[in-house]
Amino acid sequence: MKTLTKEHGLLSVLGQEQNFDIQENGTYGSWTQFGGVGSGSSFFISRTYFDLAGMSMDEKTLFFEAAGTQTVVPPKATDGAAGDNCLIFDIMSSSPLTDTDLTNFVAFGNFAQPNAVLTWDETIFARSRLYGITINEAAIDYMVLLNEEQFGSMSPTASDRIYSYRVVIVLGASDQSMGGLIVYPARHILRATAKEEPDHEYIMRLLRSYQLQQEPDVD
């Protein structure tokens, strides 16, 4: 059994309504903004990957036993008000995703929709969480968890990489609310066992993994 981990750093943004920008001195890790810094977009992305090249060199398949996310505390709003909210997606996939792919994924997931960019098999782990401030929590800065969904397959893979993404979509209720938002660090965890398969099964799985990674990797 192997335990694999990847971390996504703290994200700090400033703005209001749906017009936000990364706070340069308060954000850590690989966070980028859809449309580029200064675009005002409320869509933020952190990306990394699990390197499985050593396993593939040994011609072994990775069978997943568990997957999950560790976090520190809920998101924290600055000058928040009732109605402010944010969506956080944690995704681990066997296929790479562009920024545009990720915008489609948060809308359609891995379900059978025309604009879906991942299949259920390609989605090792996916979780969406909606955080917000209700009337009951209007006096505190931390948001509360309002809803959570999970929709991954944990399918085995012979891929060289598992791609790890964290997506934050920030929403404000009015011009006077939420001057900014802090989303604290998170850790993506995979527990898996590397096993040898019969040659014909491994070859077919290797072919499938290759087909899922036709897009070039961007490190």
8 Å CB contact between 167 and 44: yes
Distance CA 165, CA 102 (A): 9
Q: How confident is the model at residue 62 (pLDDT cuts 50, 70, 90)?
A: confident
Q: Is residue 218 part of a domain?
A: no
How are the residues of the chain apportioned to helix, strand and coil, as percentages rounded to the nearest 5?
15, 45, 40
Q: Is residue 69 part of a domain?
A: yes
- How does 123-133 read in b/e, with b if 16+ C-beta sit within 10 Å? bbbbbbbbbbb
Domain that holds residue 133: 2-212
How many CB atoms neighbour CB 70 within 10 A?
A: 11
Q: Is residue 22 part of a domain?
A: yes
Q: Is residue 219 part of a domain?
A: no
In this predicted structure, what is the pLDDT of residue 137? 79
Report the candidate in 79, 64, 89, 82 with the shortest Cα–Cα distance to residue 4.
Answer: 64
Distance CA 203, CA 87 (A): 39
Q: Is residue 57 part of a domain?
A: yes
Mean pLDDT of the chain, nearest integer: 83
% of the chain beyond a pLDDT of 90: 41
Per-residue pLDDT tens digits for 174-205 = 555 667 889 999 999 999 888 775 554 555 54
Instruction: Look up residue 104 and give its two tokens.
Output: 């489609």
- Per DSSP, helices labelled H in the chain are 53-57, 99-108, 199-212
Q: In what order do the strands lie in the sheet with 180-183?
A: 19-22, 11-16, 180-183, 76-78
Distance CA 170, CA 131 (A): 10
Instruction: Look up residue 92 and give its two tokens.
Output: 């681990």
Q: Is residue 79 part of a domain?
A: yes
pTM of the full structure: 0.84
Q: Is residue 133 part of a domain?
A: yes
In this predicted structure, what is the pLDDT of residue 124? 94
Residue type, 75: P
Q: Domain total for the chain?
A: 1
Q: Is residue 217 part of a domain?
A: no
Per-residue pLDDT tens digits for 135-147 = 887 788 899 999 9
Per-residue pLDDT tens digits for 72-109 = 999 998 888 888 899 999 999 988 999 999 999 999 99
Distance CA 72, CA 137 (A): 19
- Per DSSP, helices labelled H in 111-219 are 199-212
